[in-house]
A and B are shown apart, each in its own frame.
Chain A
């Protein structure tokens, strides 16, 4: 099992550009989520999904879109990148009730100029 994979590992964008951060898991987990981590802030929840076709907003959803068309994939879209979105982005998955351990991907480091 590869676990949770994220691509790309690093990305530099210009203000106003759009891009999609990819996340995939091969553990057949129902729950997936996206976090961003900024210095001194801890991880903050952007969006999450409790299953295919179901998504919901987290603490800091503005400027991001998500979709969950399959159990395996949970892409995060930046619609119009802003310097405030410079951060490290982590995707995570969880097996659900009785399997509450969240497994994180290696992260995507994003710099918006």
Chain B
């Protein structure tokens, strides 16, 4: 079983739609959680950290469920520029990250 699992997609949605991604992790000792964004053939960049209380950054909302060991990302009012691969990332405290294989989002006009 992979340490971090994501639905690879692709998720094809129209502009303005709301889309949600989920991610599950296997290590219950995981301490920190993140969503990274990766554009085609580019390096990953931090989108947002995920906190137990849930957090929001503009159109993006991230939530963490420690009991069920899953993380979610909600994108509201999708823009064409949101098209990318979204990586679920977990830190078990070793100061190095475990990445999911990513969920591809394509926002269509």
Question: Which residue of chain B has the shortest Cβ distance to A39 in the bound complex?
Answer: B101
User: In the complex where A102-B46, A104-B43, A105-B43 touch, is A42 in contact with B96 (Cβ < 8 A)?
Assistant: no
Of chain B, the residue at the smallest CB distance from A100 is B32
Chain B interfacial residues counted at CB < 8 A: 21
A4–B65 alpha-carbon span in the complex (Å): 33
Interface string of B40-83 (1 = CB under 8 A from A): 00111110010000000000000000000000000000000000
Q: Is the interface of A mostly helix, strand, loop or mixed?
A: strand
Identify the stretch in A12-20, A43-51, A77-85 within 8 Å (CB) of chain B at 4 or more residues: A43-51
Q: Do A42 and B87 have beta carbons less than 8 Å apart?
A: yes
Which residues of the other chain, B, contact A31 by a CB distance below 8 angstroms?
95-96
A68 → chain B, closest Cβ, in Å?
13
Whether the Cβ atoms of A90 and B43 lie closer than 8 Å is yes
B21 proximity list for chain A (CB < 8 A): none
**Which of B4, B43, B96, B101 interacts with A48 by CB under 8 Å?**
B96
Measured between alpha carbons, how far is A90 from B99 in the docked complex, in Å?
13
Which residue in A40, A43, A44 is a CB contact (below 8 Å) of B44? A43
Interface residues of B (CB under 8 A from A): 4, 8, 32, 34, 42-46, 49, 87, 91, 94-102
Q: Can you name 13 extra interface pairs (CB under 8 A) apart from A100-B49, A104-B43, A107-B43?
A: A31-B95, A33-B96, A35-B99, A40-B8, A42-B101, A44-B99, A45-B98, A48-B94, A94-B95, A100-B91, A102-B46, A104-B44, A106-B42
